[in-house]
Homo-oligomer: A and B are copies of this chain.
């Protein structure tokens, strides 16, 4: 059997792989590029599906769905491909339920969660501490962060246990971890958490749907279009579906890439699949042991995403935004929901069952899971929630060639011991995928950045004249992404205060609140925090 010969083979037809292919083709139209994908579709962790809706059918994202206005890599791609964005709906009351099934369900309309003044203070002091640490994080090489070994030797949970004062805040942080990573805070390095937040420009940027944040915008027609449009530009004949790569052999002249049925020869390979899947490929010669240890320390999260369509957005009519956050102690299966009404007006809600809740609910019958979701929606939004048109869900742990979502985290020790292997090419093999990004790592934008970076690496080897000097420097790490990552606006917070000042201020406010016994005092305190938050956000995202 004669092996087909290509210039570059890309493993994975997700956003990262197709972005790499697209850039390679733009720079050198003669490049023979082959994208091999295990799934029977492009898009990786993005998939947009039509389901029954008020006006017949409509399309929703069952994987990555949001982009934000600071995510330059994905925004440029959206623009280039001629797609449009629209904002996440967030007007109205948000529902907040923490502290056990019997705890009071609270609602709030500002951007400040419905927490007691004490918990709000606790949140403030924790955010200040984390912000101060974020200002010191070196995203490009997290082991260079001051105190890296200590920060990487503890889990996010250990940090929370040590630094959060209230049980409520600890539950909130568990919810953050679950909804961001599909993982519990006990499962990841605290330094990883900091690096992840720093790569996004700050912790609040990860959590909110306001301008600049991770849940700001959606793409009309769905995010899978990005990959579909890219595949079209790369050429459908160059993207082979149902072709999972099982082995990559390298010798002095070639890389030989095998699927179960074919073998291909090429000059360079870009592996874009998430680390736990890249680890399943057989490499010959074996990868350096540091690279193997790296992938062994990057488990993937677990998320089940569900969408319910309705005749009308009844929650809006009742003054709700559709946003619900529910702690794991409440017996509610999901951790968060949002309004998901389509641009053409088909009413819908989207929600996530994540982390250990996903593990627990994953093994149950679909009907039981749906009933639990509905019961909670009825509890939080009213009996209309039961009159849905269609319920559709996707358990990413059960998707072949995914096995989890949204992102692989890093276990303690990974960043300080094995991080140099994250992006370091192994012979002809280059590494992409959103986990290797330095800006919005773990997001669609990070996938694009990583794919483009790997493509530049390949060009620097195979066709260096097609690179600008700046790009060549970037590949050589002369202009690393570190600078950009370290200059995220968050770092300016560093100069606003010292740790002591924050603690003193927080204690003073605590005392004031504890002395204040009437509702007015509480309201005044909330108003204070609204100012603090608004100012902080302004500083982070507008400066």
Binding site for B on A (CB under 8 A): 149-150, 152-155, 157-158, 161, 183-187, 246, 276, 279-280, 282, 286, 288-290, 292-293, 296-300, 302, 356, 359, 362-363, 395, 397-398, 400, 403-404, 411-413, 416-418
Contacts and interface: CB of A to CB of B under 8 A. Distances in A.
A153 B155 contact: yes
A288 B418 CA distance: 28
Determine how many copies of this chain the complex contains: 2
Contact of A279 (B161, B280, B398): B280
A132 B297 CA distance: 30
Given A155-B155, A411-B412, 6 more contacts: A153-B161, A186-B413, A289-B395, A293-B300, A359-B417, A412-B412
A299 to B, nearest CB: 4
A296 B276 contact: yes
A362 B289 contact: yes
Nearest to A285: B400
B184 A413 contact: yes
Given A246-B282, A276-B296, A411-B299, A403 B289 contact: yes
A359 B290 contact: yes
B149 A153 contact: no
Nearest to A186: B153
B186 A152 contact: yes
B398 A289 contact: yes
A17 B395 CA distance: 35
B302 A289 contact: yes
A405 to B, nearest CB: 11
B289 A404 contact: yes
Nearest to A183: B413
Contacts of A418: 359
A293 B299 contact: yes
A400 B186 CA distance: 32
Nearest to A153: B186
Contacts of A403: 286, 289, 292
A440 to B, nearest CB: 23
B417 A184 contact: yes
A294 to B, nearest CB: 9
Given A155-B155, A280-B279, A359 B293 contact: yes
